[in-house]
Amino acid sequence: MLPAPVRDLRNLLNSYLEPEQVAVVLKAYETGAEAHAGQKRRSGEDYIFHPIAVASILAGMRMDQQTIAAAILHDTIEDTAIEREDLVVQFGDDVAKLVDGVTKLDKMKYRTRYEADAESFRKLLLAMSRDLRVIFIKLADRLHNMRTIEAMSPTARRRISGETLDIYAPIAGRLGMNQLKEELETLGFAHRYPNRSSVISKRVSDVANNRQEVVETVTKALKKRLTEAGIPARVEGRTKSAYSIYTKMRDKSLAYEQVMDLFAFRIITHSEKHCYQALGVAHALYKPKPDSFKDYIAVPKSNGYQSLHTILNSPFDSPIEIQIRTEEMDLVAEKGAAAHWMYKATPDRSTAVRAREWLLKLVETQSRAADSTEFLDSAKSDLFPDEIFVFTPRGKIIDLRAEATALDFAYAIHTDVGHHAVRALIDKQNLPLNTRLDNGQTVEILTEDQAQPQAEWLGFVVTPRARTAIRSHLKNLETADSVKIGDRLLDQALERRGHALESISSRRLERYLKKLGLERLEELLVLIARGDMLAESVANKLLSLTQRRQAGQESTTALTIGGGEGSAIAYAACCGPIPGDDIMGYLSPGKGLVIHSERCPNVPELRKNHLERCIDVRWEPLVEGQFKTLVRMVTANGPGVLASISATLGQLGANIESVDQRDSTKDTATLNFIIAVTGRDQLARVIRRLRRNPYVMRVSRELA
């Protein structure tokens, strides 16, 4: 005889599946029960009842027999002797793929638990992108684990609950599965922050009767007005959950008493037309708060969610939130992407499509991520509730996270557009790339072929796609630049010994690389450029003992700097060297070649304590780019001074990087300008012109 939980599952499945489909699920139970025989959960019950509970949650969503069978078998590959091939033979490739997609990677070795979780999450998302049912199983698995988490240790409860709040509840929300999301949040909050949950829940409970009275009064008033207007609708009211109250307190630094919109109401109608009519009725009943209306029917969220949102000032000293939508929209709002499997007849397929599009974006992000932990961090930042919607000049809607910039928009259009972006036309206004976007704006990106991503862009982009693309480009660029510098340094070191890199036998070079644990010469050159290995030492190792003895006198050839070396060379902030200055180079471990002015007070100490890392460098005859240096001015203290100085610098093509006011009196101010110039000639012209400025009393170039 079947155990009671299995009989209940069978009865539930019989309500919507064919007998032969139910038979597949029962076969999966027999296989799972045999595989898990003798295994117990921490609570003491037979392990098989956990996958049965997971399957029952999914059956409540009316999922297909393959998903239910995979749910029953979801721990077999990981925790039993069953192999993936066994599942293929017994249940087919689809069920085996679903089980494999859910399986964690605990058997693999990682340096940290976070790295293991990150790699497991990466695999999960990849599997989700191929079949959304994987995440439905995983979410149901997590929900049952949270329902039975009391058997775990306090430390494990906090860790698992934190992961639930950080990853799984947001994923459920991103897929539009709000019912499941809210239960995960409630359970996660109670076990991750038990004291906070207890305090807020008690405060909510203490005024439960008063709140219920408010809910009933507002619900009755809305129903009466809707009936009078002839709008078919049902009205639901509730108080907000303890976790939603807590997040508002945390995010907006509010005390409990300051959280006002504690009541939420839902008006569910028959058509879009009725939604907008109901909105008019609600606004006539209670005055709406300014700028609180959001129309997610005309512009749905990226997960398919549609609804009208408005916040009204009620007569109960507390604003109320109202959501208005149709029955179909409500189904999608509650079940999200799972709605497609529940009711095939409803027009909700776009929800699954939108969910898949979001997952594919995440997969594209992970393909560029340096490692699993970077991908997990990016994925977490993408699991956000707030979005904005902007338009391309052709009217295409682009959804971005709140606080996104014009540059985030550029990367959302295409990686190449982002890489070559220079300015943005926002509602036909020419604005910089770091401009924050608002809902409904029309954005056009201006590009130039020679433009390239800058490291400072990482300081203002907010979308994972943009951040990952910029990091990837800079990393590739840095590596290429470092290879060139390392090659030049090693060549010069060998030249001083009467040899060249081409004269080193490939066998000797390969043996040396193998000894270092390197696969390619380029890796060695990068280590030299970054100061992790010295070119002089490498040159000696590459030469035989006889060749070293025969080496001639060292030449005095200096490394030439042309300004086009990119991130492989840094210019010391302590002295701000510019073309025309006498300079020297210091190979800083891990940082690479740093150029100092010979006037820099740090140079004598570097030569005294690290002579082997100091190298001769000089400027090439023609240097490209601009270089930062410090100019100090004593000026009159009054309005218009900065504008006048900025205009003078702009006329001479010197860019202002930053301005810092050091000292000031009633009549004078000391200003430190970091300006970018092409060299000493341009700097001399700048200083001469500034001395003629009526506001400037004294000007000089200084060391930082």
Q: What does the buried/exposed string (b/e) look like for 75-106 if buried means 16 or more CB atoms within 10 Å of the residue's CB? A: bbbeebebeeebbeebbeebbbbbbbbbbbbe
Q: Which residues 6+ apart lie within 8 Å of 69 measured at CB? A: 24, 25, 27, 28, 91, 95
Q: What CA–CA distance (Å, rounded) separates 7 from 572?
A: 74
171-175 contact pairs (CB < 8 A, 24+): 171/135, 171/139, 171/383, 172/139, 172/336, 173/383, 173/385, 174/303, 174/355, 174/358, 174/383, 175/132, 175/135, 175/303, 175/336, 175/337, 175/338, 175/355
Q: In the structure encoding, which two tokens stand for residue 595, read together?
A: 């150029």
Pairing of strands 614-619, 287-288: unpaired
Task: Name the active-site residue from 78, 182, 183, 522.
Answer: 78
C-alpha distances in angstroms, 347 versus 82, 163, 341?
A: 40, 33, 12
C-alpha distances in angstroms, 635 versus 655, 672, 687, 698?
A: 19, 11, 14, 7
Task: Name the active-site residue from 64, 79, 321, 377.
Answer: 79
Nearest of 646, 598, 632, 653 to residue 702 by alpha carbon: 632
* 563 contacts 625 by C-beta, under 8 angstroms: yes
Length of the chain: 704
Q: Which residues 6+ apart lie within 8 Å of 553 measured at CB? A: none
3-state helix, strand, coil in the chain (%, to 5): 55, 20, 30
The answer to whether residue 78 is catalytic is: yes
Q: What does the buried/exposed string (b/e) look like for 570-585 if buried means 16 or more CB atoms within 10 Å of the residue's CB? A: ebbeebbbbbbbebbb
The answer to whether residue 399 is catalytic is: no
Q: What CA–CA distance (Å, rounded) separates 84 from 76?
A: 9
- The residues assigned a catalytic role are 78-79
